[in-house]
Amino acid sequence: MGFLASHKIKAILFDIDGTLYPKSYMNKYLFLASLSSPIFSLSYSKMRREIRLLDGSEVQPVLDLSAFREKEAKIIYKGKPNINLDSYKKHYDKAIKQKWVRLFKGIKPYDGMNRTLEEAKAKGYILGALSDFPLCGKLETLGVDSLCSFKASCEDYGYLKPNPVPFLEMLKALALKPEEAIYLGDSYSKDILGAKQVGMYTCYLTQKTKDFPLSDIVVKSWNEMYNKLF
């Protein structure tokens, strides 16, 4: 009996970038996207690291996407008077999002990923995707969009992983108890710790060999994951 059946799990929920496809693609495309606006891209990356520190691990009221963009703008334009949110949104869309939508059409899935999720769907498991970054058509490119009953960016709720708010909102949207779901991710500090702190089971996809005590399953590939889940 596999892990899903033995733990009476109803849903397989997962990260996207670095989890459904190799992180090397993501790093390559983020770099290419940054070439036309290097200063803004550098500030953007630094800002997201700061947001994680500010968000912490406490459950806070949900913020809509506009409020999250305002939070971003305040950090990027810190110390500058008359922050123009509309100006930031336009700069973000041009320098970041539009380029990602185009570039990420070139991603290829991990071997065994589609088979695993298709088998899970056929067996009646609920599937859902929760990503730190905007989705940008990645689920469609990877061929799993139609399998998902839930798909969202953490930005939609105003916080980044490992803050518990996006995980809790995902569970709420799917009417699931934490112990009825397993979350798959490639980041121990963001995906595994974030999901674990709200009570979900976790599966860590990594090539590292050290111990990861807070992950219920540790695998090196989707093919290994398939064998352990089912």
For position 217, what pLDDT does the model report?
97
Q: Which of 9-13, 155-159, 178-182, 209-213 has the lowest mean pLDDT?
A: 209-213
Q: Which of 63-67, 93-97, 150-154, 179-183 has the lowest mean pLDDT?
A: 93-97
Give me 189's structure tokens: 């500090």
For residue 81, pLDDT beyond 80: no
CA–CA distance, 14 with 18 (Å, rounded to integer): 11
* Region for residue 161 given its phi and psi (left: phi exceeds 0; alpha: psi -120 to 50; beta: otherwise): beta
CATH 3.40.50.1000 residue ranges of the chain are 3-22+108-229
For position 79, what pLDDT does the model report?
66
Could you report the per-residue pLDDT of 144-179, keeping only the tens digit for each?
A: 999 999 999 999 999 999 999 999 999 999 999 999
Q: What angle do CA 215, 172, 92 make, to 5 degrees?
A: 80
Other C-beta atoms closer than 10 Å to the C-beta of 111 total: 10
Give pTM, 2 decimals: 0.94
Asked if the 3-22+108-229 domain carries CATH number 3.40.50.1000, the reply is yes
